[in-house]
Structure 1
Amino acid sequence: MEYNRRDFLKLAGLAGGGLMMSSSVARAQEKKVAPSEELNIALVGMGAEGEVLLNSLIKIPGIRFRAVCDIWECRRRYARGRILGATAKAGKKTDLKDHLYEDYKDLIANEKDLDGVIIATPDFWHAPQTVDFLKAGVNVYCEKMMSNTVEGARSMVRAARETGKLLQIGHQRKSSPRYHYVRDVLLRKLNLCGQITGANAQWNRAVTKDLTVPEGKAFAISDETLQKYGFENKQKFRNWRWYKGLGGGPISDLGAHQIDIFAYMFGGRPKSVMAGGGNNFYKKDWYDDVMCIYEFEKTYQGFPARAFYQVLTTTSVGGYFEQFFGTDGSIKMSENPALTKIFKERGRPELDAKWEKYVADGLLVKKAAVEVKTEDVRESKPPEEYGFEVDFKGKFIHQPHLENFFNAIRGQEKLNCDGEHAFEAEAAVYKVNEAVAAKKMLEFTDEDFKA
């Protein structure tokens, strides 16, 4: 198969624009936005993830921040300061000063010219906020998980269908040039790994202390305000991911990104999942460590496969990655380029010339050989190590996904992760906590994936 780096660069350009994926099911936009026209954007939720998204947003041209909403005043003011600083540096002006809101409903009532909203609030707020913005005629980019409940997620998809507005879910790997390259080029075009037989992934994170509300008047937030917005106290407000009714625990907070990638790479839905977990360390509502096994009846190659996933919040060893195993090789990848590696099986002469051509064409980079001496004749020789290079052009990892959303509003691209397809992917995540509680393998039905 003739395939060179020039072909890849063309393909990567299409993938980055969402044209590689027929994943947008939203109807045509009622309001057409000219490519040269700035989009009016609001930001709802300025916690840790909101700040991550803001870091990317202020690098994207062609958008105008019209409003910021957060129930915590200090975070509203922080966001305003960051945005004003960035716009001033770019020689632009903004009228954001008087457009700070505590309640997102006030934002909807007062801001009538919004093209899109970025929602990065706690999971239990995602569904009501998304539905209300969609019904107000605003396109929505909402962080994952879609909701803390399956029914909440379904309501978001249905609202997008009914209104015809765009709904992008923040599984940012779906817009990553690196992940497009592995899926569309290495696995499917080149069949680099041969028959895919399995996968594993993990997100390990070191022990962390609970977040607190800092001392001082500038950080004050009243109990009345917290309770108005669904938080029993400051502890649950700052650490909502650990509590039932607010979030889904580490398996949804961290695991959702990577479990999504199993189906994305395999090209199919899981048929079952079994899982174990416990809350022995932090002793919160949700499990602090989870391990699970998915069974896939058929991948894009037509064969069955299994995938193992673990999330540990008591060690950082190993970091976070996804790895796909085949008869000819294996691809270990991550949003952290340092953890990305490709391995070719040794003792397969028929592979050598083919892989060396990929190196010559610039599709792979060969790493220095690592020899491991062993007296055990039963042990396979270590595989040869390769890598690949994809230029992110100085962009943060969330930036291409946000750009895809804005370009879809302009009618230039299709969404890379619309609500319909995000729901299918997240259905596999919701089932894990059920499987831990049930202490047995659970089967998926077609209804589990339907919104």
Structure 2
Amino acid sequence: MEENKRRGFLKKLGVTGVAAAVSPMVFAEETKSLHYLKRVNPTINLSTIKIALIGAGGMGTADTETALLNPNIELVAVCDLYDARIESAKEKWGSNIYTTKDYTKILSRKDVDAVIIGTPDHWHKQIGIDALNAGKHVYCEKPMVHSVSEGKSLIDAWKKSGKIFMVGSQGLSSLGNEKAKELLAAGAIGDINYAEGFWARNSPLGAWQYPIPNDASTNTVDWNRYIANTKKRDFDPLRFFRWRNYLDYGTGMSGDLFVHLFSSLHFITNSYGPNKVSATGGLRYWKDEREVPDVLLGMFDYPESDQHPGFNLSLRCNFVDGTSGSTYLKIVGSKGSMDVKWEEVVLKRNANSFDDDPFLAEKMKGQNAQSDRKRIVAPLETVYTAEKGYKGAHYDHFANFFNAIRTNGSVVEDPEFAFRAAAPALLCNDSYQQNKFMEWDPVNMNLI
């Protein structure tokens, strides 16, 4: 019975070009071999949600601007440790917003329903727990925590609070991920056996060479508050404005970028994560006294589980790359593969995978009539891409967050999901620094 359903799905996929969506909100329409994905947003009366931003740097600002694109969202307060960012926030969002350098004053305000945490990684856990304890909903940038040891305490605080906590690997809410999840579940590539991901950047800003303001000093930056939960040091503008380069504050390439690939892969496969982690790499180009590599390679063993067969994953990241910013996730199965991006999925099906598949029979009809000689046969390819006007994964991620607040619902990336994505990324750093395999229990979320 299940096999007939699967074949029926694949027949529709190849012959009629119509594919059912992962939810009633997503549809696919055929244009030859190109399928357009779209999302239909409901039009209902929405209550106003008042938000505050804690950490008004590049990502915090981008998050807030995206959040405000959603209907009936109001920004009431901003916290940052650098004077110029506070002034910039007032210019962007109005001089009437409340501003401070002390995030606890934000959490004490009764007019704040939810906070966006866009701080450096070393403050995610504490501000997250404090916000939950103050009765606030939380949108926290990835990775959710700065080290594996911090995960359980934040999860416990979330469960106790009854509040919504969303982590910001925004690609999770993309049409591309949803289509890939649906195709894998339908058997379009057979059983998964391997996956790989790649992230490359070729611009100075993409390699965390953020500009240092001329006025950077202890007169404009609350340095003591910044380092309050880590090693005491004299003021260093590089460690404040280029914090991702330093282990006291950031989590390296894996915590910044691998975590996106883990999040997407786990969403598509329903996986809890790998049980073995290894990493290698080096500082090959950006020799600017940073403490993290600019080339990182990770290898991961995913054990057989109720959700999927056992498979292997390889991830690569390169900050000096001629492709100027390539990003992809490839998932390989016994019958084909998928190249997954946030707004596109390319499905490739093996032409010789099995003889009784109506999808393949229709595509291959008449191709072998001229000769008995065997040929190299290219995969059969179907491309799914977002239609024009799609607002993007970042918008949809916040829409999921705000809908969960209004309906007391759930989010796609709650703390348990987020920790299972963050842990193998953080363990990459440990493997690289300690030069050894790291063993992880992905179900119970424990280091072995």
- 1:235 Cα offset (Å): 0.7
Letter in 1 for 2:260: H
| Contact 1:206–1:313 (CA under 8 A) maintained in structure 2 | yes
Query: Is the counterpart of residue 291 in structure 1 residue 297 in structure 2?
Result: yes
> Secondary structure at 1:350's aligned position in 2?
coil
Shift of 1:259: 2.0
**Stretch deviating more after TM superposition (2-11 or 312-321):** 2-11
**302 and 239 in structure 1: CA distance in 2 versus 1, 3 angstrom threshold:** closer
Contact 2:343–2:385 (Cα < 8 Å) also in 1: no
Q: Which residue pairs with 2:210 in the alignment?
A: 211
Secondary structure of the corresponding residue to residue 389 of structure 1: strand
Q: Does 1:202 align with 2:198?
A: yes
Q: What is aligned with 1:225?
A: 222
Q: Which residue is equivalent to 1:366? A: none
Q: Of the candidates 7, 20, 23, which is equivalent to residue 8 of structure 1?
A: 20
User: Could you tell me which residue of structure 1 aligns to residue 36 of structure 2?
Assistant: none
1:329 aligns with 2:329: no
Contact 1:123 1:247 in 2 (8 A): yes
Q: 1:78, 1:308 → 2: CA distance?
A: 41
Q: Which residue matches 1:278?
A: 282
- Residues of 2 paired with 1:379 and 1:76: CA distance? 65
For residue 80 of structure 1, report the CA deviation from its aligned partner: 3.0
Residue number in structure 2 paired with 1:439: 435
Letter in 1 for 2:261: Q
SS of residue matched to 2:407:
coil
Question: Using the alignment, how far apart are the partners of 1:186 and 1:261 within structure 2?
Answer: 14
Q: Which of 162, 184, 187 is the equivalent residue of 1:187? A: 184
Question: 1:420 aligned to 2:416?
Answer: yes
Q: Aligned-residue CA RMSD in angstroms? A: 3.0
Identity of aligned residues (%): 25
Query: What does 1:134-149 correspond to in 2, within 5 Å?
Result: 134-149=132-147
Could you tell me how far 1:381 is from its partner in structure 2? 4.1
Residues 380-399 of structure 1 aligned to structure 2 (within 5 Å): 380-391=376-387, 393-399=389-395
SS in 2 for 1:105: helix
Alignment check: 8 A CA contact 1:207 1:315 kept: no
Q: Would the aligned equivalents of 1:342 and 1:386 in 2 still touch at CA under 8 Å?
A: yes
* Alignment CA distance shift 1:448-1:242 (3 Å): farther
Q: From the superposition, tell whether residues 316 and 408 of structure 1 become closer, same or farther in structure 2 (CA, over 3 Å).
A: farther
Q: Which deviates further from its counterpart, 153-162 or 382-391? A: 382-391
Structure 2 vs 1, CA of residues 123 and 357 (structure 1 numbering), >3 Å: closer, same or farther? farther
Matches of 2:362 and 2:85, distance apart in 1: 53
Give CA-to-partner distance per residue, 1:251-300, whole Å, 9 cap, x none.
11111110223333333321212221212432411121111111112156
Q: Which residue identity does 1:104 align to in structure 2?
A: Y
Q: Kindly state the Cα deviation for residue 224 of structure 1 after the two structures are TM-superposed.
A: 6.0
CA distance in 2, matches of 1:199, 1:10: 21
TM normalised by structure 2 equals 0.80
Structure-2 residue corresponding to 1:104: 103
Q: Cα deviations across residues 97-122 of structure 1 (Å, max 9, x unaligned)? A: 1411222122223x212211111111
Q: Which letter does structure 2 place at the counterpart of 1:136?
A: A
Cα distance change on mapping 1:420 and 1:302 into 2, 3 Å: closer
Any gaps of 5 or more consecutive residues in structure 2? 28-43, 228-232, 364-372
Task: Give matches, 1:289-368, under 5 Å.
Answer: 289-298=295-304, 302-317=308-323, 319-335=326-342, 337=344, 340-348=345-353, 350=355, 353-354=358-359
**Residue matched to 2:67:** 57
Instruction: Provide the secondary structure at the position in 1 that maps to 2:320.
Output: coil
Deviations 1:219-267 (A, max 9, x none): 7763762233228411111110110110111111111110223333333
Higher relative strand content: 2
In structure 2, do the counterparts of structure 1 residues 45 and 356 end up closer, same or farther at CA, with 3 Å as the change threshold?
Answer: farther
Which shows bigger deviation, 202-211 or 114-123? 202-211
Give the match for residue 37 of structure 2.
none
**Alignment partner of 1:46: what SS?**
coil
Instruction: Measure the CA separation in 1 of the matches of 2:145 and 2:354.
Output: 50
Aligned to 1:236: 239
Contact in 2 for aligned 1:223/1:234 (Cα 8 Å): no
Letter in 1 for 2:335: D
Structure-2 change in CA distance of 1:65 and 1:428 (3 Å)? same
Residues 12 and 180 in structure 1, CA contact (< 8 A), matched pair in contact too: no
On the 8 A contact 2:151/2:419 being kept in 1, the answer is yes
- CA distance 1:320–1:287, change in 2 (3 Å): same
Contact in 1 for aligned 2:194/2:313 (Cα 8 Å): yes
Map residues 1-150 of structure 1 onto 2, 5 A cutoff. Answer: 1=5, 2-3=8-9, 8-9=20-21, 11-13=23-25, 36-84=46-94, 97-109=96-108, 111-150=109-148
- Please list the CA deviations of residues 299-333 of structure 1 after superposition, one character each: whole Å capped at 9, or x if unmatched: 56652211110111111527011000112211001
Are the counterparts in 2 of residues 200 and 307 from structure 1 also a CA contact under 8 Å? yes
Gaps of 5+ in 1: 16-33, 85-95, 359-376
Name which of structure 1's ranges 155-164 and 348-357 shifts more when overlaid on structure 2: 348-357
1:446 CA drift (Å): 5.6
Relative to structure 1, the CA distance from residue 380 to residue 308 in structure 2 (aligned partners, 3 Å threshold; closer, same or farther) is farther
CA distance in 1, matches of 2:316, 2:278: 12
Q: 1:348 to 1:147 in 2, by over 3 A?
A: closer
